[in-house]
Amino acid sequence: MGEKSQQSAVSSQQSNVGAYGNTPDKKPKATRDEYGDTLLELGKKRQDIVVLDADLSCSTKTNKFATAFPERFFNMGIAEQDMIGTAAGLSLTGKVPFASTFAVFETGRAWDQIRLTVCYSNTNVKLVATHGGITVGEDGASHQALEDVALMRALPNMTVIVPADAAETASVINTIADYKGPVYVRLGRAKVPYIMPDDYKFRIGKAFVFHIGRDVNIVASGIMVAIAKKAAEMLSKDGLDTGVINMSTIKPLDGEALLKVAKSSKLIVTAEEHSVIGGLGGAVCEFLSENHPVPVKRVGIHDSFGCSGNPDELIKFHGLTAEDIVKTVKNAINHS
Amino acid sequence: MNAATKGKITDVKELENIAKKIRLHILHMLTRAGSGHTGGSLSAVDAAVAIYFSKMNFNPEDPSWKDRDRFILSKGHAAPLLYAIMAEAGYFPFETIGTLRKIESPLQGHPCCKSLPGVEVSTGSLGQGLSVANGMALGLRLDNNPAKVYCIMGDGEIQEGQIWEAAMTAAHYKIDNLCAVVDNNGLQIDGPVQKIMGIAPIHDKWAAFGWHVIDIDGHNMEEILRALDEAEGVKGKPTVLIANTTKGKGVSFFEGKVEYHGVAPSAEEYERAVKEINNG
Ligand SMILES: Cc1ncc(C[n+]2csc(CCOP(=O)(O)OP(=O)(O)O)c2C)c(N)n1
Ligand SMILES: [Mg+2]
């Protein structure tokens, strides 16, 4: 795995994500790194936390927990289906298992296991996957999960969360440890800037509204929140009052927040590092078409696989830059 | 102590009589439901009865009692077997068995832990139960809880790759508070297991995966009891019983018939079957 390349990832000075931090004094940090740190702290506080991994603990960062609490860490080998079943079994004896691997393998390889023994059985299993989206980088399409949110969102009882930065990730991990029921959390490999306000606290099902735009509102998740903020700034300079919403819980969707911004502007744009089919864009369209039909444009991966490259290049290649969002907005407005 | 209300039964004759009753319940349920899995429910009766009534600590009044032993029916299509045992054990009123597979019944076509307290985990998609059993066994061990975990699989089911992932896990983590059973009835849906996708040599495979393997006649109550005792004494590795069985056991015209895998008895077949079992 090209671990070195993460230096030049979305954190670089020129990059779209890196250029738009809220808290410039805090160095960008990968959400997976925060996961490793938060999990370690949780492990110190709570005996009931157990962690499973499928031979990727160095990449998912569960290795920190593993080193500190070897008796509560289970490396399952390269066997994701067995990992999910074992996690379900552990939860049925009162443990709170966090099961981690790459998002592709977690949600794809073990989908039926998640469906039966986690969702249908409604077990208290926390699926925290890293390496979501194209910013996985050089490893290419086989390792870039672009369908994971869709796969998890379709499952009854599942909560789906995509944090936008490291601080939100810490808040998410602590929150879901106290929540009873299946949760899927999608984290990234690349470093991302801090964009959430210092006093922000994540709540399941509650979006964070940075600003409500009178002309357009961008509903984003994950690394696209920072990019959406940059796009909003560019659009505002061009006279379009643009709002940004961090929809970090994709299921259950915050319909209240969505209605509010949909009613205040003529256009909604969704932005996600995921297929536009079945993810955030899909969820927003489903909700708005039934509750308050307004034009929606979806920025995301348009029915294709990813490819190799560095994360910044891939963001450009797949049309996920702030400029791409700006273009999408302007096209939509000019054609309306 | 919050133990089994029935107390444990070790008398072979008594267990055989319970097995007979369970077979009758299964046939009754399936006939009323008009659909369901006859062959695989009947083949696993004797092992399941021995496990539930001679070995397990459980309390139907308190299905989630934390010190209970756990039973996982990995081959979830044999749900009528699990329900018949649970009815006999007193988990729910006996009349409920007539609702199998009916709308809003707790007795779903395949076991659902959210519909029926006492079902440990939902099953029905084959190949998953052993992983869950491992997780439970590991969780109990972390808590120094001496409770045990039992898991019944089908012989066709062990074609699933996940079974062998779990087999590795159980040996790797030296899970010895688990006893698995393979209901080795030789048949799956499309035909004989050896013809569809050979699993032989089954004993050697489990042994090579690090398990203590005991071959038994899965319809001989004495042999089953002896094997379950032996399993309890095995330390540092998991135990699997290869229960050599006959699919459809107890009803001559279902026995060894691949066609009765997923077909319920007709009313006429039911009458004949009941007579056979009562006279047998
Ligand atoms: C993953 C999965 N694939 C297919 C099926 C459909 N199915 C139900 S029973 C069965 C055959 C099972 O054979 P075996 O394990 O030998 O069970 P038994 O003979 O004891 O009935 C199949 C293929 C299933 N339930 N789950
Ligand atoms: Mg079979």
CATH for A218: 3.40.50.920
Question: Is the Cβ pair B143, A94 closer than 8 Å?
Answer: yes
CATH code assigned at A64: 3.40.50.970
- Contact list, A71 vs chain B (CB under 8 Å): 142
Could you give the CA distance from residue A232 to residue A322 in angstroms, rounded to a whole number?
Answer: 8
A117 lies in some domain: yes
A80 is catalytic: yes
Q: Based on the fold, state whether residues A238 and A181 are members of the same structural domain.
A: no
- CA distance, residue B31 to nearest chain A CA (Å): 27
Ligand 1 mean position to A199 CA, how many Å? 53
Question: Are A161 and A220 found together in one domain?
Answer: no
Of A192, A225, A242, which residue constitutes the final position of a domain? A192
Gap from B152 CA to chain A (nearest CA, Å): 15
In a domain, A134, yes or no: yes
Show which of A158, A192, A226 is a domain's final residue: A192
Domain boundaries B3-279, corresponding CATH code? 3.40.50.970
Inside any domain, residue A19 = no
Report the domain count for chain A.
2
Facing residues of A132 across strands? Answer: A145
> Do both A159 and A226 map to the same domain?
no
Spell out the per-residue pLDDT of chain A, length 336, in tens: 334 334 333 443 333 344 455 565 789 999 999 999 999 999 999 999 999 999 999 999 999 999 999 999 999 999 999 999 999 999 999 999 999 999 999 999 999 999 999 999 999 999 999 999 999 999 999 999 999 999 999 999 999 999 999 999 999 999 999 999 999 999 999 999 999 999 999 999 999 999 999 999 999 999 999 999 999 999 999 999 999 999 999 999 999 999 999 999 999 999 999 999 999 999 999 999 999 999 999 999 999 999 999 999 999 999 999 999 999 999 999 887
Domain ranges of chain B: 3-279
Looking at the fold, whether A141 and A68 belong to one and the same domain comes out as yes
Distances in Å between the Cα of A198 and the Cα atoms of A171, A194, B137 are 11, 9, 43
Residue A200 lies in a domain: no
In-domain check, residue A260: yes
Interior CA angle at A74 toward A73 and A79, to 5°? 150
Q: Which mutation among B43, B153, B189 tests ligand 1's pocket best, with the greatest number of atoms within 8 A of CB? A: B189
Same-domain status, A256 and A326? yes
What pLDDT does A23 receive?
Answer: 60
Stated pTM of the model: 0.94
Would you say residue A75 lies in a domain?
A: yes
Residues A327 and A236 in one domain: yes
Longest dimension (CA), chain A: 61
Same domain, yes or no: A42 and A151: yes
**B180–A contact, CB cutoff 8 A:** no
Structural domain of A247: 208-331
Ligand 1 geometric centre to CA of A228 (Å): 49
Please name which of A222, A156, A155, A158 lies closest in space to residue A184, comparing C-alpha atoms.
A158
Distance CA B94, CA B76 (A): 21
- The answer to the question of residue A199 being in a domain is no
Domain edge (last residue) among A167, A192, A217: A192
Query: A181 and A50: one domain?
Result: yes
> What size, in residues, is chain A?
336
Ligand minimally distant from the alpha carbon of residue B157: 1
ipTM over 0.90: yes
Which residues have C-beta atoms less than 6 Å from ligand 1? B 39-40, 43, 75, 77, 124-127, 154-157, 183, 185, 187-189, 247, 261
- Phi/psi for A97 (5° steps) reads -80, 135
Token code pair at residue B211: 């398990």
Q: Per-residue confidence of chain B (280 residues) as pLDDT tens digits?
A: 344 545 699 999 999 999 999 999 999 999 999 999 999 999 999 999 999 999 999 999 999 999 999 999 999 999 999 999 999 999 999 999 999 999 999 999 999 999 999 999 999 999 999 999 999 999 999 999 999 999 999 999 999 999 999 999 999 999 999 999 999 999 999 999 999 999 999 999 999 999 999 999 999 999 999 999 999 999 999 999 999 999 999 999 999 999 999 999 999 999 999 999 999 7
Query: Does one domain contain both A33 and A148?
Result: yes
